[in-house]
Amino acid sequence: MDKDPILQTIDLKKYFPLSKGLLLRVKTYNRAVDGVNLNIFRGEIFGLVGESGCGKTTLGKVIVGLEQPTSGKVMFEGKEISGSKSKLDYNLRRKIQMIFQNPYNSFDPRLRILDSLAEALKAQNVEDKNEMLEKISRMLENVGLTPPEQIFLRYPHELSGGQLQRASIARTLLLNPSFIIADEPTSMLDASLRAGILNLLRRLRDENRLTIMLITHDLSAARYLANRIAVMYLGKIVEIGSAEEVIHNPLHPYTKALLASLLPLDPLSEEPEVKITGEPRPAVNPIGCRFFDRCPYFMKDKCDVNTPELFQVKEDHSVACFLYK
């Protein structure tokens, strides 16, 4: 992993307007992404974790260009790619691709797998059928779909979830990306297939020098695959650091609660288990810490009034919590 940021987000925000009342037409906003600053380094696997509804997928869609930011910037290879429709922007954006959570929704059910993958090559002006067939065959073999001749003529519904997700990864790689956003790539798969997809992503990173942003609610998957982990809650990054630091020395109460729900506690640890109840409230014009209404360490007139900012605790470990400042 190089200490050279391939992608940066600078105070990135994505607000969705909500109408309040039929007559007043007063707009409030759901702050799905609210001032996110990230540096993702070339060659690393960066894990973004959090519960459903915390803004992870929206952040990924803003980065890849499927959603336009309300404000802030997305920088890729030193150039801004947010908000611009220039040819330069298009060429840069093609280097950023996304693997979606449900592969059945990302394929046209009327097209055979060969035809779907050929679309990726047509976008690069590859028209020769023999060249297409050779590249697609090689890529299917690379992602573990062998022999490729048994995959070509099938339709998406004729493949298993694991096979179709591998085909989705093959289609993404045919575009020669340098940055991939993998949005919950294993959540639709059986447990027996998840490790295979995660190992595939790691191997492809190593062989192709890819940078991968892994979006997941599963901290154990992030721990297995990622070099660094950021924890997101209601549009805010609440903790970020190396995977080992975040897993073995969690600081934010939300991170501790996520770990307590997934991993057995150390019987020799004197630190009490952190439990949270309820569901995240909507991030509609929030005040104070996003987590204060579920936090067991809530401090009245502080957490519910002021918003904690990320600050560095160690060289590669930052947290947004008043308990540490």
What sign for the dihedral angle of Cα 192, 195, 197, 203? negative
Q: How confident is the model at residue 268 (pLDDT cuts 50, 70, 90)?
A: very low
Can you tell me the mean pLDDT for 305-320? 93
pTM over 0.85: yes
For residue 297, pLDDT beyond 80: yes
- Reported as a single tens digit per residue, the pLDDT across 215-244 is 998 888 899 999 999 999 999 999 999 999
pLDDT in the model for residue 267: 46
Q: Which two tokens stand for residue 188?
A: 């639709």
User: Which ranges of the chain does DSSP label H, i.e. alpha helix?
Assistant: 56-64, 87-93, 113-122, 129-142, 149-152, 161-173, 191-208, 219-225, 243-248, 253-262
Q: Is the pLDDT of residue 208 over 50?
A: yes
Buried b (16+ CB within 10 A) or exposed e, 174-194: beebbbbbbbbbbebbeeebb
Residue 44 structural domain: 5-84+213-324
What's the total number of domains in the chain?
A: 1
Q: Is residue 119 part of a domain?
A: no
Residue 22 has pLDDT above 70, yes or no: no
- Give dist(CA 139, CA 170) in Å, integer: 6
Split at pLDDT 50, 70, 90, the class of 53 is confident
93-111 residue pLDDT tens: 789 999 998 888 889 999 9
Backbone angles phi, psi at 13, to 5 degrees: -135, 140
Statement: residue 278 has pLDDT above 80: no
For residue 25, what pLDDT is reported?
59
Residue 195 lies in a domain: no
CA distance 107 to 113: 8
Which whole number is the average pLDDT over 177-206?
88
Structure tokens, 214: 């892994």
Report yes or no on 35 lying in a domain. Answer: yes
Q: 236-264, pLDDT tens digit by residue?
A: 999 999 999 999 999 999 999 998 876 55
Q: What is the DSSP letter of 50?
A: -
Residues in the chain: 325
Top pLDDT among 265 and 200 is at: 200
> Above 70 in pLDDT, residue 86?
no
Name the amino acid, one letter, at 256: K
pLDDT at position 129 is: 86
* Closest residue by Cα to residue 283 from 295, 271, 292, 273: 292
Cα 199 vs. chain centroid, distance in angstroms?
17
Structure confidence by residue, pLDDT tens digits, 152-163: 999 999 999 889
The pLDDT, as a whole number, for residue 265 is: 46
Q: Would you state the torsion angle of the CA atoms of residues 62, 63, 68, 72, taken in this order, to the nearest 10 degrees?
A: 100
pLDDT classification of 143: cutoffs 50, 70, 90:
very high
| Rama region for 197: left / alpha / beta (φ>0; ψ in -120 to 50; rest) | alpha
Domain membership of residue 134 (yes or no) is no
Strands 5-20 and 26-41: what pairing?
Answer: antiparallel
pLDDT at 272 over 60: no
The answer to whether position 320 is within a domain reads: yes
Question: What pLDDT digit, counting tens, does each position of 167-181 carry?
Answer: 999 999 998 899 999
The domain that holds 28 is classified in CATH as 3.40.50.300
Per-residue pLDDT reduced to its tens digit, 109-139: 999 999 999 988 887 787 788 889 999 999 9
Lowest average pLDDT, out of 20-29, 79-88, 116-125, 262-271, goes to: 262-271
For the record, the structure tokens of 120 come out as 């990726």
The region of weakest confidence among 92-96, 190-194, 279-283 is 279-283
- Residue 278 forms part of a structural domain: yes
Grouping H, G, I as helix, E, B as strand and the rest as coil, residue 58 is: helix
Q: How far apart are the first and last CA of the chain?
A: 31
- Residue 301 counted as domain residue: yes
Average pLDDT score over the chain: 87
> DSSP class of residue 104?
G
Whether 172 maps to a domain, the answer reads no
